[in-house]
Structure 1
Amino acid sequence: MCASSRVTGEAADDVVEMTASKENDRVAIIALNRRTVRNAVDGTTARALHAAFLAFDSDDSFDVAVLTGSGGVFCAGADLHSLSNPLVHPKTGVVTELAGVVDDPTLGPMGPTRLTLSKPVVAAVDGPAVAGGMELAAWASVRVAAWDAVFGVFCRRWGVPLIDGGSFRLPRLVGGSRAADLILTGRPLSGVEAEAIGFVNRLAPAGEPSLPTALDLASAMTRSPQACLRSDLASSRSAFDPADAAELDAIAREYELGLATMRQTRLGAVASFVDGAGRGGAPI
């Protein structure tokens, strides 16, 4: 096992870093590292994050991964400056006119959100986990948040649809009514409220970052017999999806509806964000 490695994708500059936890080398820490854009994900970062999780899942020296963001921010979602980056159909791999390069149907716009891993992933959330960042957190097996964490479907304001699993994972995690509130309003959700409604599994102690609590949780998972843990993880998913095809159909349906919306609107509202409006959740 490598104590520290960087999985960066083509032309990346350490945008994703994978290291072994110093406290427990069976735990991989996968960190987004784009501080200047609040860890927003562009095409290069999506590919690097996807590659990191594939590497984790195939590495017998790791049992659990913790996904986090550098600089006290989890992820501000998709990099809206790069929404012309490739999008690929999750079932057919066909690229549309809004797409162009990638041909792997397991690669989501945010990276790993179409992957089904054999091992657990813990999301450690500080600061914003909004828009695609919230979808990334929803993809994880469990979520730990700091009290200063902020979740929200902030892409609602810019006319950018959920295309990384948020439209079907949120209802599963918090129930249809609460999910509708979050999806339709795009309102902010504090870490405390997120824990109260079941989106967040554990809160870090007040005033402390989420990573130590997330690492403790991940380490506890490594102490269980792994074959049984992974079998039960796979079975628990089937409570929502009788077969893998059901999940794939949901992902494909979300993608097709979202793509149709983007074609219709041409993402006109994104231009105002690029020009500086609404940064950090400010009113627009």
Structure 2
Amino acid sequence: MAVSSERVGAAFVVTIDRPERRNAVDGPTAEALRDAFDAFEADDDARVLVLTGAGGIAFCAGADLKAIDTYAGRLDLAEGPMGFTRLTPSKPTIAAIDGFALAGGLELALWCDLRIATPTSSFGCPERRWGVPLIDGGTQRLPRIVGMGRALDLILSGRIIDAAEAERFGLLTEIADDAVARALEWAQALAAFPQETMLADRRAAIEGFGLPLDAGLALEAETARATFGVAVAGAARFASGEGRGGAGAGV
């Protein structure tokens, strides 16, 4: 099976399992990724999606260029060629990266909210060398994450950077020896927070990015009004002593 998924506590772990192709995505694998995305969205108890690749060599090396014919008809799909890259999940997502995250694989990592990688992982847009365009969100998400200057460095040059440089760029949230284990720790911590306000703040940040400031502030106010009852209950818990001194305040 090219894609597997399993629940680990509140985490929904999706694994691209084509190590013989460095977890490159062909048409059937893209369809399986979309199915996994739909299963995550439908599972109310799955609070965080963790995306990873099998084999310890690659997270994902991008589209399988040796099976490019299997992409026929996928370029214009609303969900994106590689399964779900033009969709925005309603819940947090984490990329657990071990090895190559290149081309479309980098775009899958950029699709996630957070990116945790092993020290030996590498990142880049080598498709530049073969005249293959970025078509799974990379031209839009990479500048939003690392800034336009650094994004254009990677997009134009096609150079590959290591995990240390990726962290300096702001591409990585964290470097960890075991990316999946660390991603699951993050998932557990995020799942433990009151969900309504966390998801509302996430929505405001994602949808508000690029809006004029007044429109972004209006969106923030809208989400705040919708979760005010949860905020009142949380404030009461704080007043009674819960969470003082930073308890429960991080991963």
**1:112 aligns to 2:84 (yes or no):** yes
Task: Check the 8 A contact 2:116/2:174 in 1, yes or no.
Answer: yes
How far residue 120 of structure 1 moved from its aligned partner, in angstroms, is 0.6
Q: Provide the C-alpha distance between the structure 1 equivalents of 2:167 and 2:182, rounded to a whole number of angstroms.
A: 14
- Per-residue CA distance 1:3-59 (angstroms, 9 max, x = gap): xxxxxxxxxxx11111112xxx11111100001101000000001001101110111
SS at match of 2:171: coil
How many Å apart are 1:231 and its aligned residue?
1.1
- Correspondence 1:158 to 2:156: no
Structure 1 residue 178 corresponds to structure 2 residue 150: yes
Is the Cα contact below 8 Å between 2:11 and 2:46 reproduced in 1?
Answer: yes
Q: Does 1:82 align with 2:67?
A: yes
SS in structure 2 at match of 1:172? helix
CA distance in 1: counterparts of 2:5 and 2:149, whole angstroms:
37
**Number of aligned residues:** 210
SS in 2 for 1:83: helix
Residue identity in the other structure for 1:77: G
Between the aligned partners of 1:131 and 1:177, the Cα distance in structure 2 is 18
The alpha carbon displacement at 1:241 in A equals 4.6
Q: Tell me if the contact between 2:75 and 2:81 (Cα under 8 Å) persists in the aligned partners.
A: no
Q: 2:188 aligns with which of 207, 212, 219?
A: 219
- Report the Cα distance in structure 2 between the residues aligned to 1:65 and 1:175, rounded to whole angstroms: 25
Secondary structure in 2 matching 1:65: strand
Classify 1:70/1:171 alpha carbon distance in 2 versus 1 (closer, same or farther; 3 Å): same
CA drift of 1:196 comes to 1.0
Residue 139 of structure 2 corresponds to 167
2:59–2:100 CA contact under 8 A, matched in 1? yes
Cα deviation for residue 89 of structure 1 reads 5.6
Aligned to 1:131: 103
Cα RMSD of the aligned pairs, angstroms, is 1.4
Cα distance in 1 for residues equivalent to 2:141 and 2:82: 15
What's the CA shift for 1:115? 1.0
User: Which stretches of structure 1, 4 residues or longer, exceed 4 Å deviation after superposition?
Assistant: none
SS of aligned partner of 2:63: coil
- Counterpart mapping for 1:259-270 below 5 A: none
Structure 1 residues without counterparts, runs of 5 or longer: 1-13, 91-103, 244-284
What is the percentage of aligned positions where both structures have the same residue? 46
Q: Which has the larger radius of gyration?
A: 2
TM score, norm. by length of structure 2: 0.81
Match of 2:11 in 1: 27
Please tell me the residue identity of whatever aligns with 1:18. Answer: S
What's the offset of the Cα at 1:86?
A: 2.1
* Residue correspondence of structure 1 range 1-284 to structure 2 within 5 A: 14-21=1-8, 25-72=9-56, 73-84=58-69, 85-88=71-74, 90=76, 104-106=77-79, 108-204=80-176, 208-242=177-211
Instruction: Name the one with the larger helix percent.
Output: 2
AA aligned to 1:43 is G
